[in-house]
Amino acid sequence: MADISQMPRYDVRNDGAGPYAAFYCDKCDHEYRSQPNVGGTIAQSATKNVAGNLLRRVPVFGGALASSVENQDPRYVTSLTPAQLQDAWKQVAPRFHLCPTCMQMCCPSCWDAQSNTCTDDSPRKAEIAEAEAEQAAGVVKGFASVFGLGAVVSQAAQAAQAGTAKCPKDGTMAPAGTKFCPECGAAMVQPQAAAAAAVKCPNCGADTKGAKFCPECGAKQEAAPATCKNCGAELKGAKFCPECGTKA
Give the model's pLDDT for residue 4: 58
Helices within the chain (DSSP H only): 38-55, 62-70, 82-92, 125-146, 150-162
Most confident of the following: 45-59, 193-207, 211-225, 226-240: 211-225
More confident residue, 112 or 243: 112
What pLDDT, in 10s, does the model give residues 118-168? 999 999 888 888 777 777 767 666 666 666 656 555 655 555 555 678 888
For residues 108 and 148, which has the higher predicted lDDT (pLDDT)? 108
Helix (H, G, I), strand (E, B) or coil at 13: strand
Identify whether the C-beta of residue 180 lies closer than 8 Å to the C-beta of residue 187.
yes
33: Cβ contacts below 8 Å, ≥ 6 apart: 13, 20, 21, 22, 23, 92
The whole-chain average pLDDT of the chain stands at: 76
pLDDT in tens, 18-72: 899 999 999 999 999 999 887 655 555 545 454 445 445 545 444 444 455 445 5
The H-or-E segment that residue 14 falls in is: strand 10-14
Report yes or no on whether pTM surpasses 0.75.
no
Exposure of 51 by Cβ count < 10 A (0-12 exposed, 13-18 middle, 19+ buried)? middle
Q: How far apart are CA 214 and CA 210, in angstroms?
A: 9
If we measure between CA atoms, which residue out of 226, 231, 225 comes closest to residue 246? Answer: 231
